[in-house]
Chains A and B, each alone.
Chain A
């Protein structure tokens, strides 16, 4: 055991059990999986993805390139860092070889999302972040403070630093307590800001219950995505220590110096018994000294610089730690089995030349090659970076409106600077770091990205192949593409590339920082938008009735529409034959409430509609209805429907179910952007009106019974007229329109009263065996009459003429939207596809919708010339045979011809007919 009793911020009095790679181990509350493993001397977590080399814990937090594990219980989650998993009782995890495993059962945990608005968002609760949050809060600002760790303090959690003579963590506690006293401060720990977008928009992931393990309450979301909009964003995200590249630098037991210090101070764990420290700067000395004080034998501090800092040299000497300046690590040896480092080779390095060599046995090698400010969030939002030669790192450069970078993220590496305090708190005077990317040695054993097994040799090979750009090299070598996205390897790679090419790093630049900062589970981003909440379900006022009647529903846009109402033993075909027979012979009723409806009001309402519709609408008299077609500017049919004139200055426009929003937006766009002088207002009333077509020869009897005060005779209430009346005092509007060719009435009522009026209609229709029917029967009835469904019989390439709707295109109007396109060359092409009917000659085959149509009675070798395709196809009770509608090249000229449709392996002969197959003379319209 390397746990130090009483040390760190873990609860030594409580012991938890967990399992790693099948071994049952123990840890304490406050541990991470990594600290608990290290407490048992376990460094190795798995193997590398390509070479299978041992991999281990290399840092104490998210920058670790090595310690990947798979959580198996409580629920499988792949590719997590042991350093960021908070230990809990019963955790089961195992090491990985670079690839994780997804659960094979659905994740039942909840995920959600919250919005927050702030004057100031501070990212990071280290010394700089806390200072910023305090400053803003004291000024009365609305503050959100997020920090990725389980508690505030940032790097201070892993040090023994002091502030104003007291432990730094006392200062942290006081700051947190003060922040808690402000009502407008929201302080979130375990919350990682992972994406920074325009205008102060930051996304942060709060891990809410994962650390509770099996005890996590099921009603609380496991993770929450915070969508924070802030006027000012303070990026106080600290810095990542980076390694130096040398031979066999990828073994377990090789760790960033700051990581070992954190394991010691925060978790009370000594990462090794015999340590060597290899550094290019001052900060690693504190790790050496603290570890020595904790009982680790520190055999040497190898400082690549010519001069060691005097203060730290003295501290080391006091503890008997040899400090060797001008020394580097040239290679390592490992232990059989775990692969853990067992010795390091060291040598002097002067002017790029290695000198006298030595070997030091150890079980822990701490490395510090300098610090990379965590500029990710600054860069994601468009902040520019510059390469600082002194630090050997990219630092923020220039202004980014609304964004401030503070503390080590800005390249400020002393605590006093981070606290914005006077330098009295400052530590010893720093000695400038040495920027050293790699030690001379065998390139193929020098790992730049241990997660991807990518070496200096790989970089050299890429450059030798002709590559000059960092992006090319990254793609060639895969450096920086692993779980850590190059947090420690990215800048090192740039440095080595620059070195090998002999160009300055600043000219090469770095690869782009992209969200997310750390990996985020898909489910967290999906939030609640799953299942029924994936997309809103729209239902009509009669939905419960439909469900009770056993309707089978289909999705039409967001709507749930009854497709048919099967009776016991009926399949869809049987139900539809029954329903359509009822509508043709007796009376049927449909819930057509999903039809789009737009209330068009204003003195210029008729002018607007004349410009939008291909037909003339201004000549429509109040009390009457007209069918109309809308085209795009390209002259292709966009939507259709009836238009009901309510008054001189008011129309009620019906659209298709799927086209409602499109048509409203279309009209608004023209009205507002092209014709603002028109005095018209548009209002969607789709949800306000319920609409029930009552269809069939007996429909007049039903309407007469429902509304006895309305004269329903054909003379008094002609086709394409509408009448207002009341039923039980409820206003009802009845329109004589027909989408089936039968005598039909469309009953419209305020949706609040829909169920009542529907029931009244059913009562009134009972003597006639009124039959509710669904969309499938509606489609059959309309297809028998050759009425197209926009979006089914059209596809955005069909003009009104192609549908045989020249009658719906006004010749009187000088212009309307789309008119000019009709005159283009292609629109006058005699070979355009036209809507026709098809009758399979075998009188039996229901042609699959979508089938293609060919002219020959044998199938030639591909490519086979195609004449068109089947758009709608049904069995017809009325015709006693199947039929179809189709778009066919020069279709109207082919009426009477026999064409062929490949179905399965066969060719089905079909006769081309006009599109109207039932009641072509229109005799049934008046009943």
Chain B
């Protein structure tokens, strides 16, 4: 277990907003900051502002459970998430920041015959897509993660698991700060406490944003506001098919190392890893109702604890230390929505559900490309709004619902 890394002495400037930028990014979370970084790094575009209504990376970036993986079923998903994973693998050097990226692998447990079929299907598809993936027997699961209860006596015995060795975790805050630091150093203005309250338009073109710190003109505007996206698009009368739900997570106190990898299970809803300092980090289920409150109901946590102790009996006397909630923006097919809006100059990026963190560098890279070329990057092109009209969905929950 590593101790606290050394942070750089300087992270970001706190400038006053200018009256005009080439690119305005709404939302100073992981996606907004990564997009700003890659705009500067890959395209030399630095006349950029990232507008954040609260504190940088204080939304889902600060609240997610930091899993990074790319073992998605469909080609379109595998492509963007694998692109992202490859970027993660070089991110520490790129950002020159200790982001504690740890490729400890992820196990997705199967508990029913249908889980097994879905898992094998995903593994086989992953392999053909160049994503590392294996199917493991319960004994092999036990070798990788000895504390998983692989007894046949439990309610839903473990019948096997998919394994992606290159998957892992990172320290969410440090990732955000790393992107912010590089973006700020490149000249990007990171403006906190700056809430967008409206847009300025010229016909069907967005020309800027109205904010609590004044109007700001923009050549292009990128929405990186996750669950709050529709509250912004509503201002323009542009409907976006996302629903924002509470999603809770929790941590234990610091514990000696017991859990060497990441384990996920759908049937027995568990998602757990042990973070660098030693706390168990767990994601709970999504609360059913729409909610922006960044909190959820406790029975979801109780259910989560039952599942955790069922699959990991040694967790019995670990202690729940803190629970919190984020806002998960869910699209109809559980895939992101990235691309054009009916307004020229306004780009959409939302609907990442539980996939937003792991996509951070990949999306940032592709959205920066999209803004620079005024054309969706090939990896995000399948995720446009038009798919809901044509029916060409990328249905990740229909195929193999794997949350987080």
Cα A529 to Cα B10 in complex, Å, equals 49
Within 8 A of A (CB), among B379-402: 389-393, 395, 397-400
Whether A797 lies near B62 (C-beta < 8 A) is no
For the complex, is A866 an interface residue (Cβ under 8 Å from B)?
yes
Binds A, one of B30-38, B217-225, B297-305, B348-356: B297-305
Cα A77 to Cα B255 in complex, Å, equals 11
For the complex, is A503 an interface residue (Cβ under 8 Å from B)?
no
In-complex Cβ contact of B315 among A102, A534, A826, A869 (8 A):
A102
CB-CB nearest in chain A for B400: A795
> Would you give the shortest CB distance from A230 to chain B, in whole angstroms?
15
For the complex, is A472 an interface residue (Cβ under 8 Å from B)?
yes
Within 8 A of B (CB), among A859-874: 861-864, 866, 869, 871
Q: Which 7 A-B pairs have the closest CB atoms?
A: A796-B398, A850-B120, A862-B130, A826-B391, A850-B121, A519-B319, A107-B316
Within 8 A of A (CB), among B349-386: none
CB-CB nearest in chain A for B184: A466
Whether B128 lies near A866 (C-beta < 8 A) is yes
Q: B114 — which chain A residues lie within 8 A by C-beta?
A: 791-792
- Chain B 252-266 against A: per-residue CB contact (8 Å), 1 yes, 0 no? 111110100000000
In-complex Cβ contact of A197 among B297, B305, B399 (8 A):
B297
Whether B268 lies near A534 (C-beta < 8 A) is yes
Whether A106 lies near B316 (C-beta < 8 A) is yes
CB-CB nearest in chain B for A796: B398
> Would you give the shortest CB distance from A154 to chain B, in whole angstroms?
24
In-complex Cβ contact of B112 among A105, A523, A556, A866 (8 A):
A556
With A519-B321, A796-B397 given, is the CB distance from A195 to B305 under 8 Å? no
Whether B256 lies near A101 (C-beta < 8 A) is yes
Binds B, one of A413-421, A475-483, A645-653: A475-483
Q: A104 — which chain B residues lie within 8 A by C-beta?
A: 314
With A50-B4, A848-B120 given, is the CB distance from A464 to B112 under 8 Å? no
Q: A530 — which chain B residues lie within 8 A by C-beta?
A: 306, 309-310
- Chain B 219-252 against A: per-residue CB contact (8 Å), 1 yes, 0 no? 0000000000000000000000000000000001
- Chain A 870-906 against B: per-residue CB contact (8 Å), 1 yes, 0 no? 0100000000000000000000000000000010000
Query: Would you give 23 A-B contacts (Cβ < 8 Å), ordered by A?
Result: A78-B318, A102-B317, A465-B9, A468-B192, A469-B58, A469-B192, A519-B319, A521-B319, A522-B317, A523-B317, A526-B302, A529-B302, A531-B153, A795-B398, A796-B398, A825-B389, A825-B390, A825-B392, A826-B392, A850-B121, A850-B122, A852-B121, A902-B127
Among A107, A468, A795, A861, find the residue whose CB has the most chain B CB atoms closer than 10 A: A795
In-complex Cβ contact of B55 among A469, A526, A850, A871 (8 A):
A469
Binds A, one of B11-19, B205-213, B336-344: B11-19
For the complex, is B47 an interface residue (Cβ under 8 Å from A)?
no
In-complex Cβ contact of B391 among A225, A512, A634 (8 A):
A634
Within 8 A of A (CB), among B1-51: 3-4, 7-14
Q: How large is the interface on A (under 10, 10 to 19, 20 to 34, 35 or more residues)?
A: 35 or more
> Would you give the shortest CB distance from A518 to chain B, in whole angstroms?
9
In-complex Cβ contact of B10 among A464, A826, A871 (8 A):
A464
CB-CB nearest in chain B for A194: B320
Whether A519 lies near B316 (C-beta < 8 A) is no
Where the two chains meet, the residues of A that have a C-beta atom closer than 8 Å to any C-beta of B are: 49-50, 75-79, 98-107, 109, 195, 197, 201, 203, 225, 461, 464-469, 471-472, 475-476, 478, 481-483, 485, 512, 514-516, 519-523, 525-527, 529-532, 534-535, 537, 554-556, 634-636, 791-792, 795-797, 821, 824-827, 829, 848-852, 854, 861-864, 866, 869, 871, 902
Given contacts A106-B313, A849-B117, 11 further A-B contacts (CB under 8 A): A102-B317, A103-B314, A107-B313, A516-B320, A521-B318, A523-B316, A526-B309, A796-B397, A796-B398, A797-B395, A869-B124
CB-CB nearest in chain A for B315: A522
How many residues of chain B are within 8 Å of chain A by beta carbon?
Answer: 85
Whether A537 lies near B315 (C-beta < 8 A) is no
Q: B134 — which chain A residues lie within 8 A by C-beta?
A: none
With A107-B316, A485-B322 given, is the CB distance from A526 to B7 under 8 Å? no
CB-CB nearest in chain B for A79: B253
Whether B11 lies near A466 (C-beta < 8 A) is yes
For the complex, is B292 an interface residue (Cβ under 8 Å from A)?
no
> Would you give the shortest CB distance from A80 to chain B, in whole angstroms?
8
Cα A468 to Cα B55 in complex, Å, equals 8
Cα A161 to Cα B54 in complex, Å, equals 47
For the complex, is B195 an interface residue (Cβ under 8 Å from A)?
no
Cα A197 to Cα B254 in complex, Å, equals 26
Whether A852 lies near B112 (C-beta < 8 A) is no
Whether A864 lies near B128 (C-beta < 8 A) is yes
For the complex, is B119 an interface residue (Cβ under 8 Å from A)?
yes
CB-CB nearest in chain B for A864: B128
Whether A862 lies near B119 (C-beta < 8 A) is no
For the complex, is B201 an interface residue (Cβ under 8 Å from A)?
no
Cα A537 to Cα B153 in complex, Å, equals 13
CB-CB nearest in chain B for A534: B155
Whether B314 lies near A483 (C-beta < 8 A) is no
With A104-B314, A464-B10 given, is the CB distance from A99 to B254 under 8 Å? yes
